[in-house]
Amino acid sequence: MFRTKRSGLVRRLWRSRAPVEGDGEADRGTHGSSGGCCMGKAAKVAKSNDAGSEAELKALTHSVLKKIKEKQLEVLLQAVESKGGARSPCLLLPSKVDAKVGQQSYSLPMLLYKVFRWPDLRHSSELKRLSCCESYGKINPDLVCCNPHHMSRLCELESPPPPYSRYPMDYLKPPDSPDSGPSSSETGGTTYSAPVGLSDSLALQESGEPAHWCVVAYWEEKTRVGRLYSVQEPSLDIFYDLPQGNGFCLGQLCSDNKSQLVQMVRAKIGYGIQLTREPDGVWVYNRSCYPIFIKSATLDNPDSRTLLVHKVFPGFSIKAFDYDKACSLQRPNDHEFTQQPRTGFTVQISFVKGWGQCYTRQFISSCPCWLEVIFNTR
């Protein structure tokens, strides 16, 4: 019975491995178009001939998995089958065990990351450990967490960025302009036009609510859906419909939008994103199966007079906001910052659909489903 259950777990794990490019199932929606700016160099390198055959990889993976304790196999299976949707504990395994596939040698963690998440992964420097991992920020020379869904790929920005990602700054327009920012009527009943999110963020600052490091607003095109979500915890999941989730569930918000495009994008949000405040800034991890698009002034060249829209693929993380850089970017004649609240800066994130030059949507307010994250820099 013991051997049968273990063998069954190993077979289920192998069936749940990450598909490789060219097998007909590879990462639907993961890579999108070939012009993305956040895939990183390693992801674009063609598969090498020394990667080993499928049969070699299967034999090695089965051999490794059969040496892992049954309870650990169950943890790994939970993480792999839920694609990270269900929170799973750490999988602590020896870090110094090497495995060889073809002409390549990999550590045990790297082998599991390649088999169950990123077949094109080449080096551990491409990875970033997520804050949900108990071993985050800790160094243990003997054991390391090998849970593939406790890791993310680092988003490498191309320099110079591809032309499609550039677009002019969204200068404020008069209230009667058709492209002006959405109006807000939640600050004492007065309706007025303001830069996206400013009025409500200021109202929240003055309301005496507990200290928060950011607030999040969810928008569908030019209409905000629901009220601002204030964030006190270091990490926040923003998802559409995920029973295991603990955070901001967009599917619970009441929306009257009947647009077919909005409905389609809503259905693709899935596990959504994770916002995490870390010592070096705020990181965004794309947990969904489709790309997200991010605009943040701290991702750009300080001397640039345009902002970029960065495409972040599923499974990738990007440092979307840098507190130190944000403060250094405040310049008296800089429109993008002089129009922000004194206590915060804003990052915009669109699900599935991008905006800017070479897109039909020039402004984020034309995107079907998007987020505005307003950071408290006090």
pLDDT digits (tens, 9 = 90+) for 72-97: 999 999 999 998 888 889 998 887 76
What is the DSSP annotation of 232-297?
A: -SSEEEEESS-TT--EEEGGGS------HHHHHHHHHHTT-EEEEEETTEEEEEE-SSS-EEEE-G
Most confident among 22-36, 206-220, 230-244, 252-266 (mean pLDDT): 252-266
Sheet holding 307-312, edge to edge: 166-167, 307-312, 292-295, 344-351, 370-376, 214-220, 223-231
Residue 232 pLDDT class (50, 70, 90 cuts)? very high
pLDDT digits (tens, 9 = 90+) for 245-290: 678 999 999 998 889 999 999 999 999 999 999 988 999 999 999 9
Average confidence (pLDDT) over 296-315: 81
**Residue 48 to residues 24, 123, 247: CA-CA distances in angstroms?**
19, 14, 41
State the DSSP H helix or E strand holding residue 4, giving kind and residue range, or none if neither.
helix 2-15
User: How many whole angstroms separate alpha carbon 161 and alpha carbon 311?
Assistant: 11
Q: What is the average pLDDT value for the chain, to the nearest integer?
A: 76
Whether the per-residue pLDDT at 314 is higher than 60: the answer is yes
Residue 41 pLDDT class (50, 70, 90 cuts)? very low
Average confidence (pLDDT) over 322-349: 66
Architecture of domain 214-332+339-375: Sandwich (2.60)
Instruction: Provide the pLDDT for residue 196.
Output: 42
Residue 302 pLDDT class (50, 70, 90 cuts)? low
Instruction: Provide the pLDDT for residue 166.
Output: 44
Instruction: Provide the pLDDT for residue 271.
Output: 93
Instruction: Provide the pLDDT for residue 167.
Output: 40
Instruction: Provide the pLDDT for residue 218.
Output: 97
At the top level of CATH, the class of 5-15+56-154 is alpha beta
Query: For the chain, where do the domains classified as CATH 3.90.520.10 start and end?
Result: 5-15+56-154
Instruction: Provide the pLDDT for residue 241.
Output: 80
Whether the per-residue pLDDT at 29 is higher than 70: the answer is no
Q: Pick left, alpha or beta for residue 226 (phi over 0 → left; psi -120 to 50 → alpha; otherwise beta).
A: left
pLDDT digits (tens, 9 = 90+) for 42-68: 444 444 444 457 888 888 889 889 888
User: How many whole angstroms separate alpha carbon 116 and alpha carbon 15?
Assistant: 10
Instruction: Provide the pLDDT for residue 74.
Output: 93
Instruction: Provide the pLDDT for residue 47.
Output: 46
Identify which has the larger pLDDT, 363 or 179.
363
Instruction: Provide the pLDDT for residue 192.
Output: 25
Q: Which residues 6+ apart lie within 8 Å of 220 measured at CB?
A: 255, 257, 259, 262, 368, 369, 370
Residue 372 pLDDT class (50, 70, 90 cuts)? very high
Instruction: Provide the pLDDT for residue 3.
Output: 60
- Which token pair is 155? 């988003």
Nearest of 358, 264, 248 to residue 311 by alpha carbon: 358
User: How many whole angstroms separate alpha carbon 255 and alpha carbon 320?
Assistant: 28
Average confidence (pLDDT) over 289-299: 92
Considering Cα of 111, then 117, then 123, then 125, what sign does the dihedral take?
Answer: negative
Residue 349 pLDDT class (50, 70, 90 cuts)? very high
Minimum mean pLDDT range among 10-19, 258-267, 300-309: 300-309
Query: For the chain, where do the domains classified as CATH 2.60.200.10 start and end?
Result: 214-332+339-375
Other CB atoms within 10 Å distance of the CB of residue 23: 9
State whether residue 91 is helix, strand or coil.
coil
Whether the per-residue pLDDT at 186 is higher than 80: the answer is no
- The 10 Å CB-count burial string (b at 16+, else e) for 29-65 is ebbbeeebbbbbebbeeeeeeebbeeeebeebbeebb
Instruction: Provide the pLDDT for residue 308.
Output: 82
Instruction: Provide the pLDDT for residue 307.
Output: 73
